[in-house]
Amino acid sequence: MTQAATNISDTSTSDTSTSDLMVEMRGVNKWYGDFHVLRDIDLEVKRGERIVVCGPSGSGKSTLIRCINHLEEHQQGDIVVGGVPLTQDVKRIEQIRRSVGMVFQHFNLFPHLTVLENCCVAPMWVQKKSRREAEEMAMQYLERVRIAEQALKYPGQLSGGQQQRVAIARSLCMHPDVMLFDEPTSALDPEMIKEVLDVMVELANEGMTMLCVTHEMGFAKTVADRVIFMDQGQIIEENAPEPFFNNPQSERTQLFLSQILGH
Amino acid sequence: MIHNQTIIKERPAPSSSVGAVAWLRANLFNGPINTIFTLIGLYVLYFLVVPTVQWAFLNADWIGTTRDDCSREGACWVFINARFTQFIYGLYPREEIWRANIVFAGFFTLIAWLAIPRLPFKRWVAVFALVGFPIVAYVLLHGGYFDLPRVSTHRWGGLMLTLLLATVGMVGALPIGIVLALGRRSDMPIVKSFCVVFIEFWRGVPLITVLFMASVMLPLFLPSEMNVDRLVRALIGLTLFQSAYMAEVIRGGLQAIPKGQEEAAAALGMTYWKRMGLIVLPQALKMMIPGIVNTFISLFKDTTLVMIIGLFDLLGIVQAALADSRWLGFSLEGYVFAAFMFWIFCFSMSRYSQYLERKLHTGHKR
């Protein structure tokens, strides 16, 4: 239950003082029109930390992590990613995005490119790697998510679980400092969830900083350092998994947990 | 309980279900209504095809040089024969036609090279086709360099002019259309309004008006020492007009690409132009091939409208030939010839687009 409240007077000088902080959010607010989606979000993610965000649908979990790489724009508050304050500046947004990997609910693989090209397109065109270098690295990561033998197929020829593993490999090819997962298993058939979670657990064990919106409570228990519960755009509760699941403090958390674990 | 332990041997299908007779029975005569339609269809076909074949081939005159050689009641292709050079090259001087022939040869070679998948160096050929070839073609056709006599553009005509107008229009309209379509979806209000106004203006004006204004009105506004060639003015008018249509076709394609595609590209750190060029446009253009080719085909046929500003494209030169007193009364032959030439080019484009669609289909579903 640590609601971080350290004040940083000037975010632009925070580059050196917060080198162990991957993501910092201070007083972040966001509205969709009149609808207040994110309310006074304060969040710190240390390097190597694994955080699971859960909560009922519409609670703003996805919006929260999408603000980190500016897929959504926040209207108030400060976000600092890897020491770089997130502003309106396009160059800076792109700089942050290069160091932040993201995995989507619906995979969002590029259907006109093969699996291998999906993994190579950003290293080649964003990081200016040679095709050979990019392909070698892509094959390594595809190997790691156990899908290397499908490298020359198109995404449409793969199952959902395979596509999501490719999406993870595609993100890893950019060597991100932090990975955002936006309900990575929600669109999958039940028998495919495990193959994706296994890859994510391995990634966590290798020390990747992760922010993961998910309803997989088993995953939260095994890998998370902290679990964050959100409701109505607010962070309601935040704790280590063991006390979070065994001894939830707020009523809303208790209700939510009883609903998703109690059936 | 085991039903069958021995494997049943393969047997041929019964003869009543294979072969031509079975096919006819299944597809053309499988019921009273279908049979009636089949018979009506055959009847109509007979009454259309037989006289056409008789007129165009069996009773037609092919050989000769003057109208007196056309003695039979069928088509007089002698007329087309006698005027063929003019139909292809317009009023281009006879002794310089070899220059136009080189351009024709280069043009068709480049197209074939780009269209046949087995041939190598596609990228370099494409670069040459877009950058080098237009210069070569201009130098050859227009002359005035390397001791080549000048042939001013008002002598260009026929199929040559039609192809020139259509090619320049297509090559120009596609990129301008892409930029306009992207601009119309832009977040920047100025860019967006400019594109909307541009597209809606050009789409709302008839092409004839555009061409007429380009040839009559434009010189009034330009300083008198600035003398833009009539052909160039027509080309600009045609290109801008078609790019507005192209923009709307492409915008439809862009809208069909799920938002997640651009988000995924953005999340990988791609800039706007890379997101568009590498991820969104390749998918949108692929989906838009039928629409784009449709626009190309209508552009190809719209080139005939340059007639009204005094340029003699294929149809224009055929019509001019019809007015020749030595050849009065052969308008049917002339128009059939023009229609056939247009049909060949449009049909080829249509077939190639179908082939491209099949080839680019990567079996993806969204």
For the stretch A157-193, what's the b/e string if a residue is b when 16 or more beta carbons lie within 10 angstroms of its beta carbon? bbebbbbbbbbbbbbbbbebbbbbbbbbbeebeeebb
Same structural domain, B185 and B120: no
Query: In the predicted model, is pLDDT for residue B165 greater than 80?
Result: yes
Same structural domain, B115 and B251: no
Q: What is the pLDDT of residue A201?
A: 92
Cα of B41 to nearest chain A Cα, Å = 43
**Could you say which of B264, B283, B363 has the minimum Cβ distance to residue A157?**
B363
Query: Is position B81 within any domain?
Result: no
Q: What is the pLDDT of residues B286-345, one digit of tens each?
A: 888 888 888 899 888 888 888 888 888 888 888 888 887 777 777 888 888 889 999 999
Same structural domain, B196 and B239: yes
Same structural domain, B113 and B179: no
Query: Is position B122 within any domain?
Result: yes
Same structural domain, B141 and B240: no
Instruction: Please tell me the distance from the alpha carbon of residue B324 to that of residue B107, in angstroms, as a whole number.
Output: 32
Same structural domain, B169 and B119: no
Chain A positions touching B360 (Cβ under 8 A) are 112
Q: What is the pLDDT of residue B55?
A: 82
Size of chain B in residues: 366
Interface touch B283/A125, C-beta < 8 Å: no
Instruction: Please tell me the distance from the alpha carbon of residue A113 to that of residue A152, in angstroms, as a whole number.
Output: 9
Q: Domain range holding B167?
A: 86-92+162-359
Cα of A124 to nearest chain B Cα, Å = 11
Q: What is the pLDDT of residue A262?
A: 65
Q: What is the pLDDT of residue B363?
A: 56
Last residue of a domain, one of B126, B150, B174: B150
Residues in A whose CB is inside 8 Å of some CB of B read 69, 71, 90, 94-95, 97-98, 100-102, 104, 106, 108-112, 121-122, 125-126, 154-157, 167, 170-171, 174
**Could you say which of A94, A109, A157 has the minimum Cβ distance to residue B269?**
A94
Q: Which of B259, B263, B268, B283 to mutate to test the interface with A (most CBs of A within 10 A)?
A: B268
Cα of B278 to nearest chain A Cα, Å = 8
Residue B27 is encoded by which pair of tokens? 């597809």
Query: Is position B280 within any domain?
Result: yes
**Could you say which of A69, A101, A108 has the minimum Cβ distance to residue B261?**
A108
**Residue A247 DSSP code:** S
Q: What is the pLDDT of residue B85?
A: 81
Query: Is position B19 within any domain?
Result: no
Cα of A90 to nearest chain B Cα, Å = 9
Same structural domain, B109 and B238: no
Same structural domain, B246 and B313: yes
Query: Is position B156 within any domain?
Result: no
Query: B296 CB contacts (<8 Å, ≥6 apart)?
Result: B166, B170, B349
Same structural domain, B138 and B272: no
**Could you say which of B269, B270, B283 has the minimum Cβ distance to residue A112?**
B283
Q: What is the pLDDT of residue B365?
A: 44
Cα of A98 to nearest chain B Cα, Å = 5
Same structural domain, B346 and B305: yes
Query: Is position B132 within any domain?
Result: yes
Same structural domain, B142 and B186: no
Residues in B whose CB is inside 8 Å of some CB of A read 258, 260-261, 263-272, 274, 278-279, 282-283, 286, 360, 362-366
The number of folded domains in chain B is 2
- Tens digit of pLDDT per residue, chain A (263 long)? 444 444 433 444 444 444 688 999 999 999 998 899 999 999 999 999 999 999 988 899 999 999 999 999 999 999 999 888 998 888 999 999 999 999 999 999 999 999 999 999 999 999 999 999 999 999 999 999 998 999 999 998 999 999 999 999 999 999 999 999 999 999 888 889 999 999 999 999 999 999 999 988 889 998 999 999 999 999 999 999 999 988 888 889 999 888 887 65
Chain B, nearest residue to A181 by Cα: B267
Interface touch B274/A126, C-beta < 8 Å: yes
Instruction: Please tell me the distance from the alpha carbon of residue B48 to that of residue B231, in angstroms, as a whole number.
Output: 41
Cα of A5 to nearest chain B Cα, Å = 29
Query: Is position B12 within any domain?
Result: no
Residue A261 is encoded by which pair of tokens? 């674990």
Of A96-100, B86-90, B189-193, B276-280, the one with minimum mean pLDDT is B86-90
Same structural domain, B138 and B199: no
Which CATH number goes with the domain that contains B292?
1.10.3720.10
Chain A, nearest residue to B360 by Cα: A112
Query: Is position B111 within any domain?
Result: yes
Last residue of a domain, one of B130, B150, B170: B150
